[in-house]
Amino acid sequence: MIKLAFYIKGKEVVRVFLLIGAFLIFSGCATKEDLYNKPAMFWYSKIIEEVKKYDLEEADKYYTSLASEHINSPILKDVMIIMALAHIDDEEYVLARFYLDEYIKRFGDKKGSEYARFLKVKASFFGLQQANRDQKLILDTLRDSKEFKDKYPYSQYSYMVDTIISKLEIARYVLIKDIASLHKKLENEKAYEIYKAKMQKSWVNKMDIEEPKNNNFVRKIFE
C-alpha cells in the first residue's frame, strides 16, 4: 500500500510537470482532437464534460489549451477552482495544489483567495501519506494553516483549519517522540536531549493521547 501511494503521488508530480511544460511550449495541438484557436467557452465546456466523465487527465489538457489561448479570460478563475476540487475528490492532491497555487498567484481578491487558500490547506492535509517521509509537508501545511488563521481570523473555515492544525501538531509530536526514542536507543545523548526539549515545549505533551500502533500514524490521526 505504501509503494502504491508513492507511485500514485509520483504520477501526479509527473503530470504537474507535463501540465507546466505544455503550457510553456503550447503549440496549438494540446488535445487528442487537435483543436486550437477556439473560444474560451468552448474549452470551458470541454473541461466540464471531461470532469463529469472523471477523465481528469484529459480535462488537464483542455485546461492547458484554455490557459494558453485565453490567458486573461475571467473563465480561468472558476476553472482553476473546478479543477482543484475535481482533483481533491479524486485524491490527486499534488495536482490540486498546482491549480490552487496558480489561482492564488493570479487572482488576489480577498473572498476568492480565502477559499483557495483553505482548499490548499485541505489538499495538503489529505495528501499526507507517511510522516517519516512527509515531514516537510507536515511543517509546510502547519505554516500555511497558521498563516490562514492570521489572514482570515473570522473565516467560516476557521473551525476546520483549527482541527487540521491540532491533528498536525499531534502528528508532529508523535514523530518527534519517535526520533527522540531512536536517539536514546543509539545512545546519542545530545540529540536525544534536543528532541526531548522539543517534546516538552509542545502542548501535546500535556495531553493523554493514545498513539496508533501502526507505522502509518499520520493517516490514523487524520481518520
Q: What is the pLDDT of residues 143-195, one digit of tens each?
A: 999 999 999 999 999 999 999 999 898 888 888 888 888 888 888 888 888 88
Task: Give me the number of domains the chain comprises.
Answer: 2
Supply 163's cell numbers: 482541527
Same domain, 29 and 97: yes
Q: Could you give the residue ranges of the DSSP H alpha helices within 70-188?
A: 75-89, 93-106, 110-127, 135-151, 158-185
pTM of the full structure = 0.74
Task: Report the pLDDT value the prediction gives residue 154, as an integer from 0 to 100.
Answer: 92
For the chain, how many residues are written?
Answer: 223
Least confident of 28-37, 50-59, 125-134: 28-37
Query: Does residue 171 share a domain with residue 123?
Result: no
pLDDT digits (tens, 9 = 90+) for 85-125: 999 999 999 999 999 999 999 887 666 789 999 999 999 99
> Can you tell me the distance from the alpha carbon of 204 to that of 156, in angstroms, rounded to the nearest whole number?
26
Report the range of poorest mean pLDDT among 24-38, 121-135, 202-216. 24-38
Distance CA 161, CA 52 (A): 29
Tell me: do 105 and 189 sit in the same domain.
no
Both 48 and 110 in a single domain?
yes
- Please report where in the chains the cell 489561482 appears, as a residue: 103
Q: Determine the Cα–Cα distance for residues 158 and 155; give it in Å rounded to an integer.
A: 5
Query: Which candidate, 54, 49, 99, places its Cα nearest to that of 76?
Result: 99
- 15 and 103 housed in the same domain: yes
Per the CB < 8 A criterion, the answer to whether 195 and 179 are in contact is: yes
Q: What is the phi/psi pair of residue 206, to 5°?
A: -90, 0
Of 106, 127, 148, the position where a domain reaches its end is 127
Nearest of 157, 156, 151, 89 to residue 123 by alpha carbon: 89
Handedness of CA 178, 182, 184, 190 (dihedral sign): negative
Residues with Cβ within 8 Å of residue 116, at least 6 apart in sequence: 80, 81, 84, 100, 103, 104, 107
Q: Do 109 and 51 lie in a common domain?
A: yes
Contact 86, 56 (CB under 8 A): yes
Q: Which domain holds residue 142?
A: 130-223
Q: Look up residue 106 and give its three cell numbers.
A: 493570479
3-state secondary structure of 92: coil
SS3 label, residue 130: coil
| Domain stops at, among 107, 127, 147 | 127
